[in-house]
Amino acid sequence: MGEERARLHARVNGLVQGVGFRYFVLEAAHRLGVSGWVRNLPDRQVEVVAEGERGRLEQLLATLTQGPPGARVREVDSQWLSPRGEFQGFRITH
């Protein structure tokens, strides 16, 4: 039996726009096999919603706290929710 599935909702604060953060998240999500989306917010944060196995989402969350070279992550505000199974793949959205 597979690991428990979950939904991660995260907002990343800091210098996270204009540094390739969304593409960094996209690559990490594909590598980890999780689905969902990432987008820039008007308040200069980056928002991520992802679903998959809880362990893989925990790895994604750890990746968000690192960020790509050039980013300076100040804080990641995250929530764990019940999965809805609504995503096909992972994408950058607006």
**Residues taking part in catalysis:** 22, 40
| Helical (H) or strand (E) element with 51 | strand 46-53
Query: Do residues 50 and 20 lie in contact, with contact meaning Cβ atoms separated by under 8 Å?
Result: no
CB atoms within 10 A of CB 3: 11
Query: Do residues 5 and 52 lie in contact, with contact meaning Cβ atoms separated by under 8 Å?
Result: yes
| Helical (H) or strand (E) element with 62 | helix 54-66
